[in-house]
């Protein structure tokens, strides 16, 4: 059984993610970074709505995925930092990064999948690109 960390900026549990995980997930941690906020909200730390939306999305995604044990949460607005924070508390065997296409990405998530793969490349990192309109 594998321990898998999912970092998802898309807010929908998609079939591609379920297929990528397979059926042998022991522990699953789903973190949705609070990326849906404006620069002004980010600068003024007015991210309550973004965090609430991210927390709800994480729970929805986690409930739709197979595992023996699942934890979900909102993460930092920086997806790389959200991944690093999660890895401090969760011993993952691999990471699955779910991002939106570039034309749907927010300014906070641009380039995040590449940064995660580059900086956390000591473990298997899989990237899925899905549109929020897929959900």
CATH architecture label of 2-134: 3-Layer(aba) Sandwich (3.40)
pLDDT exceeds cutoff 60 at 53: yes
> pTM of the full predicted structure?
0.83
* Range 33-36 contact pairs with CB under 8 angstroms and sequence separation of 24 or more: 33/7, 33/9, 33/74, 33/75, 33/76, 33/77, 33/78, 33/79, 33/82, 33/108, 33/109, 33/112, 34/74, 34/75, 34/76, 34/77, 35/9, 35/77, 35/79, 35/106, 35/108, 35/109, 36/11, 36/106
Mean pLDDT of the region 66-75: 91
Q: What is the pLDDT of residues 73-85, one digit of tens each?
A: 999 888 889 999 9
Domain borders along the chain are 2-134
Q: What is the pLDDT of residues 95-132, one digit of tens each?
A: 998 887 777 766 556 667 777 888 876 788 888 887 76
Per cent of the chain over pLDDT 90 is 30
């Amino acid at each position: 059984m594998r321990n898998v960390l999912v970092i998802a900026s898309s807010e929908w549990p998609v079939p591609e993610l379920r297929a990528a995980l397979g059926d042998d997930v022991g522990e699953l941690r789903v973190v949705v970074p609070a990326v849906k906020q404006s620069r002004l909200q980010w600068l003024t730390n007015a991210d309550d709505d973004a965090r609430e939306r991210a927390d709800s999305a994480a729970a929805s995604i986690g409930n739709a995925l197979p595992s023996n044990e699942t934890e979900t949460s909102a993460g930092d607005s920086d997806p790389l930092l959200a991944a690093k924070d999660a890895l401090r508390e969760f011993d993952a065997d691999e990471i699955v990064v779910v991002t939106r296409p570039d034309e749907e990405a927010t300014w906070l998530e641009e380039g995040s999948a590449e940064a995660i793969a580059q900086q956390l490349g000591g473990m298997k990192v899989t990237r899925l690109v899905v549109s929020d309109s897929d959900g």
